[in-house]
Chains A and B, each alone.
Chain A
Amino acid sequence: MNLDLRIPMGMMFSIAGAVLFAFGLATRTRAELYSRSFGINVDLWWGLGLLMFGIILVGMGRRGQGRIEARKQGGALQKKTKKR
């Protein structure tokens, strides 16, 4: 497959994380919302974590995608050198 999975997956986690983070930021004064989580604004912190995870994944995926493209272009050449 010529698509590095880490790119779409990382994008998904970045967007989901960003949504959570923004929601946490917007509701940081509403204590009753976070009474279940002992007053910790888990949306904010977990969203931030997911955002970072997603960005790292996209970064890794970009590198991987670059390798896939390179292999596709040099594919014929590589096969020849392998045989030798």
Chain B
Amino acid sequence: MPNLAAVDWMIVLVYFFFAIAIGISLRQFIANSGDYLLAGRALPAWICGLAMVGASLGSIEMLGMGAAGARYGAASASFFGLGSIVPLVFAALFVVPAYYGSKARSVPDYLRLRFDAKTRTANAALFLLGAVVYAALSLYVMARVGAALGLFDMMFRAQTLGSRGVSLLSVVIPAAFVLIFVLLGGFGATMYAQVMQFFVIVAGLLPVVLMGLKQIGGWGAMKASFSAAAHTGAGAPASGVGAPALAAGLGFVLTAGYWCTDFSLLQATFAAENADAARRAPLIAAAARVLLPFLLVVPGVIALGLPTPHTTEVTHTDNGAIYHEIDVVPRAAEQGQGLIPARTDSIAEPAAGNILRDAKGHPLLDYEMATANLLPFNLPTGLLGLGIAVLLACLVGGVSSRIAAVSAVFTYDLYEPWRSKGNDGAREQESKDPSLAVARWAVVGASILAAGLACAMLSVHNMPGLLDLLALTFAVLNAPLLATVLLGIFWKRATGNGAFAGLLAGVAAALLHYGVTLPAGETRGVAGGWITVLHHPPSGLRQNLGTALCAILVNVLVTVIVSLLTAPPPAARLAGTLGAPSFSQLHREKGGKRRSGYIAVALDLNPAALAGIVLLAAIAVSLIFL
């Protein structure tokens, strides 16, 4: 258990203070719903790009990447590197320009412009569901980590709250914080907090990785320690992913759906000041992500490789007196591997619960704790505060991006169509912008829903691994949408009815696949197989790959068939929404304004050249990890 000193809390509070301060100072610039939901569409590319990185590094991904490092080894860094960078480059070249060029205000709004209103509504509803679940999962995982690290004990234990009360509070307090600063500063404050989060991650995790590498004996020793741990019983990584090729395939299908269609990530590109900045934003995000696996995956590998703590008793005599020094380590930590404890059935007090075991009697490892446990192990007081700030900043970044996106989609794609349908006349008389108030209420509603859901999750004992759960929501919600968006951009014959039918069929197919498969060794329920069990994929990730492929194939099939049966879309609809403007066209539009400074010159490169450089760098980095 780490003992957070006053100086640690001071550093954490500095981060929170500035996040709120930004929210307050941006408040004065918000005049209408466009300022609130899309930051006035006036942000430069670097802020949009780094905000995308921040939005994609919520607490789930942050802990999940460490968990993957502990479970699958350093090679999973290549998976995360290429798996995010290739789709990001694809999004920058083809998808984002189509969104921005169509003048849509959200991804569902693009579907309205390209297809029709019902496709938009279906997508908006699915998105709201997915985003709230994601926010709830982020809060849930951080409450678990907070409980395991005893983060909030100091603050709340004194008030005679039980451990359950503490874990509920550790959901409610971050949720309330997110609520306050999104409510104040809108999406602009969210993006600013995400850019700050990116730099806090670098500042906080770089010392962890460097010192961890030194403790374990260097890069080669780290890799060797992983293969050694893999052969001992307790740490046996559930090797379900199998061949790296399969992992890569999984990465591309799932992550392409994520980066090309998830509005909570792409909202930053919609807020860009012009089309050129919107296109550069994903490239900047890709460049920033090249080195992130080093900071996020390596701590997990190090945590697995360090010696497992054991209860020790040292007896020594001093001036005739006999001293017994007993260093008690909880059983869950002793049964674990390295710094990764065994999983127990108690969330509120993980150290006290019964240890969960697999069919062979080996304890199951709580991989999500890998990064979190490494922080107090190798950071001294002071820097530890910065490490905790990283954990909390990731939580805030991930949750606030979803809350802001929910607010935008709810306002633009559900409320505004409903209002214009209901009372056209009344709208003219209103002097104020009612959408702004609705957007603010949507923030409140989404925060409360997410916090409530997270509290409910705390009482579920048998939650599957986080990355598996995340991959599941991608597979069910994003994979079918990817097919719809790509058909919309590249196939001019795709019609509104076709897209609508395809989208719903894709989601239904994904749910069906998820309902009839169950990863080996899991029990029916949240992990799948809730209809009946027909097939046992070797791992949760395999199952999700199947679900995603199923969704995409069914969606494409249904969209194509229904589109060919219905009348082709009118040319006017296709004019602004089909395809993407070419690079040279965008470059010319930008005009002759050249900026000065080295970084600016690098950013002013032709996007195709920038994309090539980023891809080469990503390949080089993944070769180091393999």
Contact = CB atoms under 8 A, between A and B. Distances in A.
B195 A36 contact: no
Contacts of A15: 14
Contacts of A3: 22, 25-26, 29
Interface string B42-55: 11000100000000
B374 to A, nearest CB: 11
Contacts of A13: 199, 203
Interface stretch (B261-269, B375-383, B421-429): B375-383
A interface, size bucket: 20 to 34
A19 B203 contact: no
A45 B504 CA distance: 56
A48 interface: no
Interface in B1-23: 7, 10-11, 14-15, 18, 21-22
A12 B29 contact: no
Q: Which interface class (under 10, 10 to 19, 20 to 34, 35 or more) fits B?
A: 20 to 34
A37 interface: yes
B221 to A, nearest CB: 16
A46 B379 CA distance: 12
A49 B214 CA distance: 20
Interface in A27-69: 27, 33-34, 36-38, 42-43, 46-47, 50, 53
Given A8-B18, A8-B25, A42 B211 contact: yes
A9 B43 CA distance: 16
Contacts of B195: 5, 9
Contacts of A24: 382
Nearest to A15: B14
Nearest to A43: B382
Contact of A11 (B18, B42, B383): B18
B47 A5 contact: yes
Contact of B383 (A20, A38, A53): A20
A8 B192 contact: yes
B386 A16 contact: yes
B50 to A, nearest CB: 9
Interface string B359-401: 0000000000000000001111111001001000000000000
Nearest to B187: A1
B283 interface: no
Given A13-B199, A16-B386, A38-B214, A1 B43 contact: yes
Contacts of B196: 5, 8-9, 12
B182 to A, nearest CB: 15
Interface in B117-138: none
Nearest to B11: A16
B148 interface: no
A2 interface: yes
B40 A1 contact: yes
Interface of B: 7, 10-11, 14-15, 18, 21-22, 25-26, 29, 39-40, 42-43, 47, 188, 192, 195-196, 199, 203, 207, 211, 214, 377-383, 386, 389
Interface of A: 1-3, 5, 8-9, 11-13, 15-16, 19-20, 23-24, 27, 33-34, 36-38, 42-43, 46-47, 50, 53
23 contacts: A1-B39, A1-B40, A1-B42, A1-B43, A1-B188, A3-B22, A5-B22, A5-B195, A9-B18, A12-B15, A12-B18, A13-B199, A15-B14, A16-B11, A16-B14, A19-B11, A20-B386, A23-B7, A33-B381, A36-B378, A37-B380, A43-B382, A53-B203
Given A5-B195, A42-B380, A50-B203, 20 more contacts: A1-B43, A1-B192, A2-B29, A5-B22, A8-B18, A9-B192, A9-B196, A16-B15, A16-B389, A20-B7, A20-B11, A20-B382, A20-B383, A23-B382, A27-B382, A38-B214, A42-B207, A42-B211, A43-B380, A46-B207
